[in-house]
Amino acid sequence: SLYSGSQAWEVKMPRHIKGLLGSCLVIPCSFDYYRYPPTRADRVVWYQYVSKGYPLVYDNWYPNDVISIYKGRTKVTTSKYQKTCTLEITGVNWNDHRQKLYPWVDPENVGRSTYKFYETTVTIEVVEEPKAPKITITGERKAGNSVTVQCSVEHTCSTNPPTLSFNIALKNNRLTHTQLSDGTKTTLTVTFVIERDSQVVECTAHHPGGKRAKSSEILNAE
């Protein structure tokens, strides 16, 4: 019965995720099942994985019971229909480093066939510096021509993504966000008219919390 209960449920989330110091951290999480449906699919709590007990990381029913390092810093996106369990942590700090966490759906209704949620955990790694953005330039590199310039950066703060900016005059700005398995890729696509040879294209990513990262590329034109 326990075995079949485990096979009837599935929780999808990264096993490891990086969080930028001072920024927010969004841990993508979803679940699905074909047997033993929950009584409350929109009731999701998160726990700290430890050898003894169930320290609360998030519980909107009992917010005062959340452990001190996470009190007031956590939020969960839930839905009766979307089967989501995504956790957001604000103000990432060194207390989050190497924390192992896990979600639990419908914790008030636990039975013999309940999925063992503590077997699917995510471990946080706090990093001091963000990833450098990546610049790509497409089009014929001739003076007077228009080329497409893209700047993209991977991050784990989808609710408050970094702001991307260039050092050159641009037009037709388009911003997109792509969901990755362990985060988000934010891309700024622009059109740039080449004025002369050897122009430096620089892109800067400004992250929540004040961290910045930049990349540059020399645009050589005929």
Q: Is the pLDDT of residue 13 over 90?
A: yes
Largest CA distance in the chain: 72
User: What percentage of the chain has pLDDT greater than the value 90?
Assistant: 76
State mean pLDDT over 161-176: 90
At 209, the amino acid letter reads: G
pTM, to two decimals: 0.90
pLDDT of residue 6: 54
- Residue-wise pLDDT for 23-45, tens only, equals 999 999 999 998 888 999 899 99
Structure tokens at 2: 């326990």
What are the beta bridge partners of residue 61? none
pLDDT of residue 195: 85
**How far is residue 21's CA from residue 162's CA, in Å, rounded to a whole number?**
13
Note whether 109 and 40 are within 8 A (CB). Answer: yes
- Residue-wise pLDDT for 98-157, tens only, equals 999 999 999 999 888 889 999 999 999 999 999 999 999 999 999 889 999 999 999 999
CA distances from 67 to 40, 48, 62, 217 (A): 24, 9, 11, 46
Q: What is the mean pLDDT of the chain?
A: 92
Q: Is the pLDDT of residue 3 over 50?
A: no
pLDDT of residue 222: 77
Q: Is the pLDDT of residue 15 over 90?
A: yes
pLDDT of residue 128: 97
**How far is residue 116's CA from residue 106's CA, in Å, rounded to a whole number?**
12
- Residue-wise pLDDT for 46-72, tens only, equals 999 999 999 999 999 999 999 999 999
pLDDT of residue 2: 40
Q: How many alpha carbons fall within 13 Å on the CB side of residue 123?
A: 6
**How far is residue 25's CA from residue 56's CA, in Å, rounded to a whole number?**
17
Helix intervals (H) in the chain? 2-8
